[in-house]
Protein backbone atom coordinates (compact mmCIF):
# COMPACT_ATOMS: atom_id res chain seq x y z
CA UNK A 1 0.00 0.00 0.00
CA UNK A 2 1.35 3.41 -0.81
CA UNK A 3 0.47 7.04 -0.33
CA UNK A 4 0.88 9.16 -3.46
CA UNK A 5 1.77 12.84 -3.32
CA UNK A 6 3.10 15.06 -6.12
CA UNK A 7 4.55 12.26 -8.26
CA UNK A 8 6.19 10.63 -5.22
CA UNK A 9 5.34 7.33 -3.63
CA UNK A 10 5.92 6.65 0.06
CA UNK A 11 5.35 3.29 1.70
CA UNK A 12 3.35 3.94 4.85
CA UNK A 13 2.56 0.38 5.88
CA UNK A 14 2.70 -3.27 5.09
CA UNK A 15 0.99 -6.44 6.18
CA UNK A 16 1.54 -10.15 5.95
CA UNK A 17 -0.02 -13.40 7.04
CA UNK A 18 1.01 -16.98 7.70
CA UNK A 19 -1.45 -19.86 7.35
CA UNK A 20 -1.18 -23.03 9.43
CA UNK A 21 -2.27 -25.78 7.02
CA UNK A 22 -3.17 -28.14 9.88
CA UNK A 23 -5.74 -25.79 11.40
CA UNK A 24 -6.46 -23.63 8.34
CA UNK A 25 -6.03 -20.56 10.57
CA UNK A 26 -3.87 -17.54 9.86
CA UNK A 27 -1.83 -15.11 11.89
CA UNK A 28 -1.85 -11.55 10.53
CA UNK A 29 0.57 -8.69 11.24
CA UNK A 30 0.43 -5.01 10.27
CA UNK A 31 3.28 -2.51 10.32
CA UNK A 32 2.24 1.13 9.94
CA UNK A 33 4.52 4.16 9.88
CA UNK A 34 4.22 5.94 13.23
CA UNK A 35 2.84 9.20 11.82
CA UNK A 36 0.07 7.28 10.03
CA UNK A 37 -1.07 5.22 13.02
CA UNK A 38 -4.60 5.88 14.23
CA UNK A 39 -5.85 6.91 10.76
CA UNK A 40 -7.40 3.60 9.73
CA UNK A 41 -4.59 2.43 7.46
CA UNK A 42 -4.58 -1.04 9.08
CA UNK A 43 -8.31 -1.35 8.46
CA UNK A 44 -7.83 -0.54 4.79
CA UNK A 45 -4.98 -3.08 4.47
CA UNK A 46 -7.18 -5.75 5.99
CA UNK A 47 -9.50 -5.65 2.96
CA UNK A 48 -6.89 -5.43 0.16
pLDDT at 29: 87
User: Cα–Cα distance between 27 and 17 in angstroms, integer?
Assistant: 5
Question: Which residues in 20-48 are b (16+ Cβ under 10 Å) and which e?
Answer: eeeeeeeeeeeebeeeeeeeebbeebeee
Average pLDDT of the residues in 26-37: 86
Q: Is the pLDDT assigned to residue 13 strictly greater than 70? A: yes
Q: Is the pLDDT assigned to residue 43 strictly greater than 60? A: yes
pLDDT at 45: 64
Q: Would the pTM of this model clear 0.85, i.e. be above it?
A: no
DSSP character at residue 23? T
Q: Confidence band (pLDDT; 50, 70, 90) for 3?
A: very low
Amino acid sequence: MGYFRQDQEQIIGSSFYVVDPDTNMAEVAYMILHEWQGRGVGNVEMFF
